[in-house]
């Protein structure tokens, strides 16, 4: 089934509809009513019931674990709809941001499935349900992503990738593209960070000391998170700064879902990724995109109410890539940082019009 063969409005509506999706079998209303906002919300999110209330049937039906390494084996959780008999020309690769997981793309994954497209999303090492690492150099993480692509995509699908990154995942997406651009058709950057994160430079001696301290003693940051942030429930920074809209019942469920995921974030991994941060060579990226010509297009999408990565960051990234082919900058009104959870209907509409429709 192709994008020309479907009712796209119906696909978007179904992809955003969460009724009947929680694997617990409880209704959205019952779940939202059960989890009372406030200082005890974080504790209730750590119970096994919450794991079932905030996991969708779609994710459960498509998730798997991929094993890597020899003696020091590790696992990555992935979610994909690529079957052994598939032969298609395009696979969408999703890379989440700092502290995120693959579930943040859930509406987009469902849209692709509805329209007959193949996707692969993964929990980065140290986040979601993937194993932790000792260190997280961005280049090493890119290689882990590449291995996942080789294991799941290369042997089953004849075609190229559309890479979709969110927040820090945009940096990883660009590093992936710069090394393996011959395998990439499109680069989609959702809410990209500041083009040059100078405070993470190795020359910032005192910041580096602080990050190393956090890596060695992550429980210090856990105390702050639990006693001064998560105790505020849905008014915590991970919700207040990531969402802008109210969104009704499904919006309330998605905020609780995000909060459930936030509680699971490993503080040590956050410090590890900051220490492993590698800047982007924007001149090299511009030259690579220019040489690719019509073979690679670029889409940058952000929310105008994003407090984490403001619109200016997306605009600056676009300005640094004047020679990119088919470059588009899309600003979604009344939307915060977590695009797919905050305003899924509009994000899916823009994604269809500016990415999927290009496949016709």
Annotated active-site positions, please?
Answer: 167
Cα gap 114→23, rounded to integer Å: 20
Contacts for 108-112: CB closer than 8 Å, 24+ residues apart: 108/15, 108/164, 108/340, 108/347, 108/348, 108/351, 109/58, 109/62, 109/79, 109/81, 110/14, 110/15, 110/58, 111/11, 111/12, 111/15, 111/348, 111/351, 111/352, 111/356, 112/81, 112/356
Which of helix, strand or coil describes residue 157? coil
Show the tokens assigned to 301.
């999408």
Residue in this structure with the two tokens 């193949």, named with its chain if needed: 118
Identify whether the C-beta of residue 156 lies closer than 8 Å to the C-beta of residue 84.
yes
Identify whether the C-beta of residue 229 lies closer than 8 Å to the C-beta of residue 237.
yes
């Amino acid at each position: 089934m192709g994008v020309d063969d479907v009712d796209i409005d119906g696909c978007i509506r179904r992809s955003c509809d969460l009724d009947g999706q929680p694997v617990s079998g409880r209704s959205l209303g019952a779940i939202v009513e059960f989890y009372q906002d406030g200082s005890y919300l974080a504790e209730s999110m750590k119970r096994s019931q919450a794991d079932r209330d905030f996991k969708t049937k779609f994710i459960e039906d498509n998730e798997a674990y991929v094993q890597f390494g020899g003696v020091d084996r590790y696992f990555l959780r992935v979610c994909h709809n690529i079957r052994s008999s598939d032969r298609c020309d395009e696979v969408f690769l999703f890379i989440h941001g700092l502290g995120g997981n693959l579930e943040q793309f859930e509406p987009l994954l469902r849209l692709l499935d509805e329209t007959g497209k193949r996707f692969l999303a993964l929990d980065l090492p140290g986040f979601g349900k993937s194993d932790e690492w000792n260190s997280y150099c961005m280049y090493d993480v890119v290689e882990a992503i590449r291995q996942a692509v080789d294991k799941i995509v290369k042997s089953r699908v004849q075609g190229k990738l559309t890479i979709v990154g969110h927040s820090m995942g945009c940096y990883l997406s660009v590093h992936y593209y710069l090394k393996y651009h011959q395998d990439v058709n499109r680069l989609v950057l959702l809410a990209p960070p500041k083009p040059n994160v100078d405070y993470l430079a190795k020359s910032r001696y005192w910041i580096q000391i602080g990050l190393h301290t956090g890596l060695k003693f992550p429980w210090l940051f856990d105390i702050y998170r639990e006693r001064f942030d998560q105790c505020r429930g849905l008014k915590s920074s991970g919700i207040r700064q990531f969402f802008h809209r109210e969104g009704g019942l499904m919006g309330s469920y998605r905020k609780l879902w995000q909060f459930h995921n936030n509680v699971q974030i490993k503080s040590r991994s956050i410090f590890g990724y900051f220490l492993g941060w590698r800047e982007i060579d924007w001149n090299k990226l511009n030259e690579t995109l220019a040489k690719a010509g019509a073979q690679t297009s670029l889409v940058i999408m952000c929310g105008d109410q994003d407090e984490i990565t403001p619109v200016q960051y997306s605009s600056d990234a676009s300005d640094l890539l004047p020679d990119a082919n088919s470059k588009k900058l899309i600003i979604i009104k009344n939307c915060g940082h977590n695009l797919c959870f905050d305003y899924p209907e509009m994000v899916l509409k823009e994604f269809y019009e500016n990415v999927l429709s290009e496949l016709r």
